[in-house]
Structure 1
Amino acid sequence: MQFLEDRMSVLSQLFERYPRALTTAATILVVVGAPTAFLLYQHSRLGSKVRHSASRGSLADLPLQDVKSMPESVQDKDAASKTRAVYDVASLSTLGINISPSLAEEEILTRYLRRNMTAFSRFPQAYALSLNCDQSSRKTFKASHIQALNFEPGDVVCGAYTVVCREQDRVEFGMALNQIRGRLVTTLERNDGQITFKTQTVMWQPSDVKAPMPLENPVLKFAHEITSWWMLEAGILYLTDYTSV
């Protein structure tokens, strides 16, 4: 008890001597700490709902599930073994009855991507991408542009994502940044009365390049996970007209 009283006395004296400095420090802790705590909570909450896996290695070693648009240059096992890659998969399901049965899979996926890519265009990651874009490419961040897309091969979203494969139940985007190449794959699958949405992200670069890729950076990996997981949840809620998932 005496120890606690002594500590409180010290804090009181400090506050009397340096009221402005301590007030500023406390304000910074609240301003920085509150959003951080919220993000950590959301990451934990979403992580308990979403099925997620992540792996690293060469493209030859990674358990790529069904990415259909991998470049020929890395399909050869010898070439693939000379890469360093990261692979992230997240999925979330809802009862099929929650989504209008009159909608074909292609229309469901188009609506889902229009909603999610429009939301992503307002995220910090998209803002960072826009800094390296010319005036023409910046138009691809606009909601009016994204909402008009059917996500056909050649369509560009947020400057960096180009559709390279479109099927009824999948859209695959190609990504390129310096020597980094990648694929962002969104699919949906109907099975046993459920619809499962899955997002796959794979990035790779030559194994002799030492610079880390975004998903190798802990902070950027965290940002990717919370963004990907939130978009799965929010996209499904959008399609089900905000009924419970």
Structure 2
Amino acid sequence: MPISTSFILPTTLTLSLSLSCYLIYHHRRLHHSTSTTHRDGTLAAHSIPLDNLETVPTAVFSSGQFFSVYDRAARIVPRNKFPALNHHHKLINHGNKSEGRSEGDLLTLYLRHTLTLFTSLPQAYLIKFLLLPRSARYSFGADYINSLSFVEGDVVCGVYTVLLRTARKVEFGIAAPGGADGVQGRLVVGINPDIDLKGEDQDEEGRVEVYSETAMWRDADSRVVMPLERALGRAMHELAAWWLLERGVEYLQRLD
């Protein structure tokens, strides 16, 4: 017996409305607990410091020849909320470097955890099944991701290649599958274990900042529209980045 459209349409609308409300609620909730920065235009470097993006040519943000989009998300947490990092700090102060987890170890664990979570998101399914060849799908596997140390040259989730690795950050190049000619991008993920919050009282243990930065750019006169230029693309990016940041920080806080 065929299902009446009088039943299908209201049901579809109800589900769509419920999903929209759910996403809006979580977007607002995550925004409330996340420090964010967004800039776009041809002279982004005039409004914010972008020195942390070491593999991006200076001209991209300052020459006026490129249109760029920049997003930063961060969480700042008291250092004593990170047992593993705090334990390592105490060991170093006592001259014992043979135990505990270093900052680089924590960053590796953080990346393994959050990138494995990323593979369950709609963006990952889009990349994996619609934009990449079958031969690249291995880089989405949990076992593969958990084997990585994120050294220069490592590829993860098909489009992210490590260009720079330090103890406190990893800078990924973002490939542009699907024919987005002329678009380049970077993803930077890092942990700052001792940040200075100017104008605010510091507790004895200090603060830790966990952050991610995303930048994409194209020629200023190009007609290509980058994902972060679109309202929906930016909203989905923010929701994913903020959620991964929340889950990643919670994971670090559980490490002993």
Gaps of 5+ in 1: 1-18
1:13 counterpart residue number? none
**Distance change in 2, residues 1:28/1:182 (3 Å):** same
Normalising by structure 2, we get a TM-score of 0.81
User: Given the alignment, which residue of 72, 75, 84 partners 1:89?
Assistant: 72
Q: Is the 8 A contact 1:61 1:81 kept in 2?
A: no
What is the SS of the residue equivalent to 2:222?
A: coil
Identity of aligned residues (%): 32
Deviations 1:105-146 (A, max 9, x none): 101111111000111112111111122222331111111111
Report the AA paired with residue 47 of structure 1: H
Deviations 1:54-79 (A, max 9, x none): 011125546243334334xx324798
Deviations 1:147-178 (A, max 9, x none): 11010000001110000000000000001312
RMSD of aligned residue pairs (Cα, Å): 2.2
1:25 counterpart residue number? 9
1:16 counterpart residue number? none
2:193 counterpart residue number? 190
Q: Is the 8 A contact 1:64 1:87 kept in 2?
A: no
What is the SS of the residue equivalent to 2:50?
A: coil
What is the SS of the residue equivalent to 1:240?
A: helix
Report the AA paired with residue 49 of structure 1: S
Shift of 1:104: 1.2
Rg bigger for which structure? 1
Report the AA paired with residue 42 of structure 1: H
> How many pairs are equivalent?
223
What is the SS of the residue equivalent to 1:149?
A: coil
1:40 counterpart residue number? 24
2:207 corresponds to 1:208: no
Q: Is the 8 A contact 1:188 1:197 kept in 2?
A: yes
Report the AA paired with residue 67 of structure 2: R
1:105 counterpart residue number? 103
2:144 counterpart residue number? 145
2:182 corresponds to 1:179: yes
2:90 counterpart residue number? none
Shift of 1:31: 1.3
1:67 counterpart residue number? 52
Q: Distance in 2 between matches of 1:75 and 1:160?
A: 23
Q: Distance in 1 between matches of 2:60 and 2:168?
A: 28
Normalising by structure 1, we get a TM-score of 0.84
Gaps of 5+ in 2: 88-99, 195-201
